[in-house]
């Protein structure tokens, strides 16, 4: 006799942990985790988390390999193995690479946040003005946008690096002067669309000034767009800053910038791969997590930006 | 259409002027050029004479127009780092190497991106599609210098198949064409993700059209439908993306040439940055920006030619 199994209806589980798990699954956990571990926590707690100083190393300890690399060779050709004192090894000046990566997260995040904020404020203000008032001011601002978009960022950075010298300010100037235009263009389009809507007309009838309409009625409707764009751009800014620093046109030595660390490991790649590899990996993970976060936020807040 | 071309041409001209103004003001910001020219024991008379000779006693706008005239005639001044050499001449010397590298990396990126884009579109929403997405995501997240170093480490250091640096050439009398392979891959991959995504989306559009259905009904083999009927029509979108690709190549050539010590224009720019050689760096930037702006103008005109709606926007 065949046994008949009756499918049990799934129990509507209401236990607390499961509910939390379901709620959590709606968020991009892996990107958030990577972002926290690679970028945010090291950036905020760099002084506490970093096992060694990021500035001072001992030359007798230079080019120690990562912890899991065994010693090899004999006599004068002997290469020492790694120890857990320096998990990712040390660089050519004997500085702990892990500690420098941790401090590098702070550098990357500060550059990204400051320049995105400045670019966002400039671009949004100009975009709102252009879109709301239209006419000649709109033409002027959109011409500026075209110009900003037509100058390749790296080239501008190279000229600035020679003219002003590589510094934190130079990097910020380069990034802001390229990235503001994207906000301006996007926000202008939105403002153009919003200003012909009923609630703006009613605010006008009620006697609201232009400034008030822009600030209280139009701006709140573009904040989602701005947030999505900003998140998507943080990754790009980190990438640009790293590239500039790598080329010697970004942050100056001895800042623990990831791009600079890869640059100093470039010549050592045959003998000591780890000097360039770990900072490079940090860049990839940080940018990857920010890109994923941006994609998720876009789908969540502003699906019409698919093509961004 | 003529009106559109004129307006866009005018905009391109304004952009070019803006670039020249930016560079001119940066040149002045970076310090008095006479400081580097005068001897220590120069008198004030010498200084005045030299200032008059170089036109530095003229008002700024006169200086600017004189500078603009020099730019238009290709007279960009003498290099500081490479004594006695004309900056424009230096650039032209390096141009063939960079052009050849750009050519091969374009081939690399098209060879990689088009087939992947097509396959990913055909296998939409399967594991292959997801893998393609991850591939594109990594392409966008990986700095090109890290990729260059990774390639160098794998193929030059570990496997020892290819050389790590130096100029190689197929077309010119330099020899060592194998030296082009790694730089071309590193530079080409930079564009793969973008071209792949474009190919995918335009393929998806084409796969959905009536004439593709008709081709299938007629019993044409699936391979032929996809690779001949669809790809031909889907290719226009990625091809008109040329302007952005070109911008990417410029950025990329600076980075890639630095990593592989490939003596093209990009390496020239970086060497000039390190030596604080303003004459050379401004020559490179004006040259690249000019190409970029003109290429974008041509792409815009091409777009408008193909899609009349744009002309009235």
Does residue A104 surpass a pLDDT of 80?
yes
CB-nearest partner of A152 from B14, B152, B247: B247
Distance from CA of A16 to the nearest CA of B (A): 33
Helix (H, G, I), strand (E, B) or coil at A79: strand
Check residue A300 and give its pLDDT.
Answer: 78
Chain A residue closest to B136 (CA)?
Answer: A288
Does residue A117 surpass a pLDDT of 80?
yes
Alpha helices, DSSP H only, in A153-218? 153-164, 168-195, 198-205, 210-212
Categorize the per-residue pLDDT at B309 as very low, low, confident or very high, splitting at 50, 70 and 90: low
Which of A73-77, A200-204, B276-280 has the highest mean predicted lDDT (pLDDT)?
A: A200-204
Q: Round to whole Å and give the CA distance between A299 and A292.
A: 11
Mean pLDDT of A178-192: 89
Does residue A236 surpass a pLDDT of 80?
yes
Mean pLDDT of B184-205: 80
Check residue A113 and give its pLDDT.
Answer: 92
Q: At A117, list the tokens.
A: 């904020």
Q: Which residues of B touch A156 (CB under 8 A)?
A: 22, 285
Query: Does A146 or A212 have the greater pLDDT score?
Result: A212
CA distances from A279 to A99, A115, A172, A221, A242 (A): 11, 22, 21, 39, 10
Chain B residue closest to A148 (CA)?
Answer: B15
Query: Does A268 or A15 have the greater pLDDT score?
Result: A268
Mean pLDDT of B23-51: 72
Mean pLDDT of A166-172: 88
ipTM above 0.95, yes or no: no
Query: Choosing among A30, A145, A151, A236, which should be mutated to test the B contact, i.e. which has the most B CBs within 10 A?
Result: A151
Which of A90-94, B15-19, B309-313 has the highest mean predicted lDDT (pLDDT)?
A: B15-19
Query: Does B27 or B145 have the greater pLDDT score?
Result: B145
A273 interface with B at CB cutoff 8 Å: yes
Q: Which residues of B touch A247 (CB under 8 A)?
A: 254-255, 258, 270, 273
CB-nearest partner of B29 from A164, A266, A270: A164
β-bridge partners, A96: A90
Query: HEC string of chain B?
Result: CHHHHHHHHHHHHHHHHHHHHHHHHHHHHCCCCHHHHCCCCCCHHHHHHHHHHCCCCCCHHHHHHHHHHHHHCCCCCECCCCCCCEHHHHHHHHHHHHHHHHHHHHHHHHHHHHHHHHHHHHCCCCHHHHHHHHHHHHHHHCCHHHHHHHHHHHHHHHCCCCCCCCCCCCCCCCCCHHHHHHHHHHHHHHHHHHHHHHHHHHHHHHHCCHHHHHHHHCCCCHHHHHHHHHHHHHCHHHHHCHHHHHHHHHHHHHHHHHHCCCCCHHHHHHHHHHCCCHHHHHHHHHHHHHHHHHHHHHHHHHHHHHCHHHHHC
CB-nearest partner of B288 from A147, A155, A269: A155
Categorize the per-residue pLDDT at A116 as very low, low, confident or very high, splitting at 50, 70 and 90: very high
Q: Which residues of A touch B21 (CB under 8 A)?
A: none
Check residue A126 and give its pLDDT.
Answer: 94
B134 interface with A at CB cutoff 8 Å: no
Q: Round to whole Å and give the CA distance between A273 and A268.
A: 7
CA distances from A8 to A14, A19, A141, B26 (A): 17, 21, 65, 76
CB-nearest partner of B141 from A160, A266, A291: A291
B26 interface with A at CB cutoff 8 Å: yes
Nearest partner of A52 among A87, A24, A13, A17, judged by Cα: A87
Nearest partner of B292 among B250, B232, B230, B237, judged by Cα: B250
> Residues B113, B238: contact at Cβ < 8 Å?
yes
Contact B258/A247, CB-based, under 8 Å? yes
Chain B residue closest to A275 (CA)?
Answer: B149
Does residue A306 surpass a pLDDT of 60?
no
Lowest-pLDDT choice from A96-105, A109-118, A126-135: A96-105
Distance from CA of B297 to the nearest CA of A (A): 10
| Cα torsion through B244, B249, B250, B254, rounded to 10 | 150
pLDDT per residue as tens digits for the range B54-101 = 667 777 778 788 878 877 777 777 776 777 778 788 888 888 888 888
Contact B145/A243, CB-based, under 8 Å? yes
> Residues B88, B76: contact at Cβ < 8 Å?
yes
Does residue B277 surpass a pLDDT of 80?
no
Contact B273/A262, CB-based, under 8 Å? no
Check residue B237 and give its pLDDT.
Answer: 66
Lowest-pLDDT choice from A43-57, A99-113, A247-261, B298-312: B298-312
The pTM of this model reads 0.81
Query: Does B248 or A101 have the greater pLDDT score?
Result: A101
Distance from CA of B9 to the nearest CA of A (A): 13
Does residue A123 surpass a pLDDT of 90?
yes
Helix (H, G, I), strand (E, B) or coil at A294: helix
Lowest-pLDDT choice from A115-119, A185-189, A193-197, B51-55: B51-55
Q: Which of residues 275-304 of B touch A (CB under 8 A)?
A: 276-278, 281-282, 284-285, 288-289, 292-293, 296
Output the average pLDDT for chain B.
Answer: 78
A153 interface with B at CB cutoff 8 Å: yes
Does residue A120 surpass a pLDDT of 90?
yes
A296 interface with B at CB cutoff 8 Å: no
Check residue A304 and give its pLDDT.
Answer: 63
Query: Choosing among B30, B139, B149, B202, which should be mutated to test the A contact, i.e. which has the most A CBs within 10 A?
Result: B149
Mean pLDDT of B154-170: 73
Q: Which of residues 152-211 of B touch A (CB under 8 A)?
A: 152-153, 157
The CA angle A54-A59-A64, to the nearest 5 degrees, is 75
Output the average pLDDT for chain A.
Answer: 81
A147 interface with B at CB cutoff 8 Å: yes
Categorize the per-residue pLDDT at A25 as very low, low, confident or very high, splitting at 50, 70 and 90: low
Lowest-pLDDT choice from A160-164, A273-277, B116-120: A160-164
């Amino acid at each position: 006799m065949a046994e008949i199994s009756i499918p049990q209806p799934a129990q509507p589980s209401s236990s607390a942990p499961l509910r939390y798990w379901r709620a959590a699954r709606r968020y991009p956990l892996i990107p958030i985790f990577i972002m926290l571990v690679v970028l945010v926590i090291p950036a905020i707690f760099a002084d506490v988390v970093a096992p060694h100083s990021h500035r001072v190393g001992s030359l007798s300890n230079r080019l120690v390999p990562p912890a899991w690399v065994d010693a090899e060779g004999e006599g004068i050709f002997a290469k020492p193995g790694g120890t857990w004192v320096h998990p990712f090894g040390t660089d050519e000046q004997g500085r702990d690479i892990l500690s420098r990566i941790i401090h590098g997260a702070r550098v990357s995040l500060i550059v990204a946040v400051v320049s995105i904020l400045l670019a966002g404020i400039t671009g949004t203000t100009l975009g709102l003005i252009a879109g709301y008032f239209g006419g000649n001011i709109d033409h002027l601002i959109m011409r500026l946008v075209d110009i900003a978009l037509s100058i390749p960022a790296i080239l501008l950075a190279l000229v600035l690096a020679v003219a002003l010298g590589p510094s934190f300010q130079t990097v910020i100037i380069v990034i802001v002067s390229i990235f503001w235009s994207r906000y301006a263009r996007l926000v202008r389009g939105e403002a153009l669309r919003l200003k012909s809507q009923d609630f703006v007309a009613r605010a006008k009838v009620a006697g609201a000034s232009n400034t008030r309409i822009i600030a209280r009625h139009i701006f709140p409707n573009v904040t989602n767009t701005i947030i999505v764009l900003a998140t998507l751009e943080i990754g790009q800014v980190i990438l640009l800053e790293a590239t500039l620093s790598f080329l010697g046109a970004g942050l100056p030595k001895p800042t623990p910038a990831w791009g600079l660390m890869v640059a100093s490991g470039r010549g050592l790649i045959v003998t000591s791969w780890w000097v360039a590899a770990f900072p490079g990996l940090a860049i990839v993970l940080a940018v990857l997590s920010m890109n994923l976060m941006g994609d998720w936020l876009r789908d969540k807040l502003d699906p019409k930006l698919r093509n961004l | 259409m003529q009106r559109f071309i004129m307006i866009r041409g005018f905009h391109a001209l304004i952009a070019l002027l803006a670039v020249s103004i930016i560079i001119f003001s940066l040149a002045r910001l970076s310090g008095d050029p006479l400081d580097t020219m005068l001897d220590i024991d120069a008198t004030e008379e010498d200084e005045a004479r030299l200032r008059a000779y170089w036109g530095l006693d003229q008002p700024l706008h006169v200086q600017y127009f004189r500078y603009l005239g020099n730019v238009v005639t290709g007279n960009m001044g003498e290099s500081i780092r490479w004594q006695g050499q004309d900056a424009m001449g230096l650039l032209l010397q390096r141009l063939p190497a960079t052009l050849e590298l750009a050519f091969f990396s374009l081939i690399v990126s098209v060879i990689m991106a088009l087939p992947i884009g097509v396959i990913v579109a055909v296998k939409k929403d399967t594991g292959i599609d997801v893998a393609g997405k991850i591939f594109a995501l990594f392409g966008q997240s990986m700095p090109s210098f890290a990729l260059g170093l990774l390639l160098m480490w794998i193929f030059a250091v570990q496997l020892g198949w290819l050389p790590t640096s130096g100029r190689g050439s197929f077309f010119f009398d330099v020899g060592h064409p194998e030296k082009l392979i790694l730089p071309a891959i590193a530079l080409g991959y930079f564009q793969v993700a973008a071209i792949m995504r474009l190919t995918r989306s335009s393929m998806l559009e084409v796969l959905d059209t009536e004439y593709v259905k008709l081709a299938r009904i007629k019993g044409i083999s699936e391979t032929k439908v996809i690779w001949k009927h669809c790809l031909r029509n889907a290719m226009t979108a990625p091809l008109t993306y040329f302007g952005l690709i070109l911008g990417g190549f410029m950025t990329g050539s600076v980075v890639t040439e630095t990593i592989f010590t490939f003596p093209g224009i990009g390496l020239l720019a970086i060497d000039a940055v390190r030596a604080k050689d303003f004459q050379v760096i401004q020559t490179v930037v004006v040259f690249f920006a000019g190409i970029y702006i003109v290429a974008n103008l041509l792409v815009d005109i091409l777009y408008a030619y193909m899609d009349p709606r744009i002309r009235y926007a």
